[in-house]
């Protein structure tokens, strides 16, 4: 039996045609081997023809690969320098920025001649390789702004409180009242001595007797109240105010003597006419005139003392105001 003549293609055909023809030959060979009713010689011939067709398909695939000059050059370079082009192709495939990982190499099966895409590495290995080669840009270092100076709150100095002279005038008024009581008692003893009621034998009793009467203490108390009220009004005023307005203190002492005589009567047991007659009898009585004069003079002299104290307070107030103004002009300062 002569070998079948293998047709030689004038030009390389498509790989799919070659694969289809190879599959058809294999299918015919299997069908021939399975048929038991056919003669043995025909089965052998069919098997030989199928083997020859498969060989022809392999040669055609080799011829197709040999015809491509780029593939031949690539295979030759790979044989001379193994691993050079395969690693480069893998690195290029890993650097592709795509949601799906591209195939790294295409291989052709020799059994069924079906083109399959073989991935060079799994998805996990490709992601690890990409993470190793990825360069993460560092964040730019921004200089922090310099710290802003915090405001410092400084309490403004309070203006000085002016010093008054009312307390001093009240204290001086107590001393003036003591003098008023002593002088008024002396005038009372003198008037009694002039009338023959006070002698050397009874002077002690006569000196203690007025101290238990309303007629003596009422003008004394009225004098103190009038002196202190005048000092509160004048305050840090000059001595001239005490000299002029001291007349009012004298009048108050005189009115105090009249009021003391009414308390001594007593006035709640007197009729209206009896009260009027008593006041008329005491208007120009020696003790009434003495109370007026003593109150007037003590106000003048003790008022001079109060005025001097008021002038000193005025100087202190002026100095405190100047110091306050200097502090405001200097501005706030940090104390350590």
The predicted structure's pLDDT at residue 97: 44
The predicted structure's pLDDT at residue 91: 44
The predicted structure's pLDDT at residue 132: 54
> Which residues of the chain fall short of a pLDDT of 50?
1-7, 9-13, 36-41, 43, 64-66, 88-121
The predicted structure's pLDDT at residue 254: 94
Mapped onto helix, strand or coil, the DSSP state of residue 200 is coil
pTM: 0.53
Side-chain-facing half-sphere of 154: CA atoms under 13 Å? 9
The predicted structure's pLDDT at residue 225: 95
Q: Which two tokens stand for residue 288?
A: 């009434």
The predicted structure's pLDDT at residue 27: 76
The predicted structure's pLDDT at residue 296: 94
Mapped onto helix, strand or coil, the DSSP state of residue 107 is strand
The predicted structure's pLDDT at residue 303: 94
309/303 Cα distance (integer angstroms)? 10
Spatial contact of 253 and 219, defined as CB atoms under 8 Å apart: yes
The predicted structure's pLDDT at residue 115: 42
How many other β-carbons are positioned within 10 Å of the β-carbon of residue 60? 22
> Which of 299, 198, 284, 206 has the alpha carbon at shortest distance from 247?
299
238/242 Cα distance (integer angstroms)? 7
The predicted structure's pLDDT at residue 150: 74
Q: Which two tokens stand for residue 54?
A: 């498969």
Q: Which two tokens stand for residue 209?
A: 């007797």
Cβ neighbourhood burial of 183 (10 Å; 0-12, 13-18, 19+): middle
The predicted structure's pLDDT at residue 112: 45
The predicted structure's pLDDT at residue 100: 46
């Amino acid at each position: 039996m002569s070998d079948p003549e293998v047709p030689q293609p004038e030009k390389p055909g498509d790989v799919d045609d070659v694969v289809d023809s190879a599959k058809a030959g294999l299918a015919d060979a299997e069908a021939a081997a399975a048929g038991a009713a056919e003669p043995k010689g025909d089965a052998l011939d069919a098997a030989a023809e199928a083997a020859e067709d498969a060989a022809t398909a392999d040669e055609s695939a080799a011829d197709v690969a040999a015809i491509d000059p780029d593939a031949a050059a690539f295979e030759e370079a790979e044989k001379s320098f193994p691993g050079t082009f395969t690693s480069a192709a893998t690195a290029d495939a890993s650097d592709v920025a795509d949601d799906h990982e591209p195939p790294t190499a295409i291989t052709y099966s020799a059994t069924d001649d079906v083109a399959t895409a073989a991935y060079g590495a799994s998805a996990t290995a490709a992601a690890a390789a990409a993470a190793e080669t990825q360069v993460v840009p560092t964040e730019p270092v921004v200089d922090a702004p310099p710290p802003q100076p915090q405001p410092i709150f400084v309490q403004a100095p309070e203006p000085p409180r002016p010093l008054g002279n009312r307390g001093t005038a009240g204290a001086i008024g107590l001393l003036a009242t003591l003098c008023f009581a002593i002088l008024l008692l002396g005038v009372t003893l003198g008037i009694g001595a002039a009338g023959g009621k006070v002698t050397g034998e009874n002077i002690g009793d006569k000196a203690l007797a007025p101290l238990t009467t309303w007629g003596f203490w009422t003008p004394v108390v009225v004098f103190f109240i009038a002196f202190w009220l005048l000092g509160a009004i004048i305050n840090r005023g000059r001595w001239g105010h005490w000299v002029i307005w001291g007349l009012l203190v004298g009048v108050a002492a005189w009115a105090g003597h009249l009021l003391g005589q009414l308390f001594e009567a007593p006035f709640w047991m007197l009729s209206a006419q009896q009260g009027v007659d008593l006041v008329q009898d005491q208007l120009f009585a020696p003790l009434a005139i003495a109370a007026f004069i003593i109150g007037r003079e003590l106000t003048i002299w003790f008022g001079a003392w109060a005025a001097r104290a008021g002038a000193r307070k005025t100087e202190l107030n002026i100095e405190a105001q100047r110091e306050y103004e200097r502090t405001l002009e200097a501005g706030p300062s940090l104390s350590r």
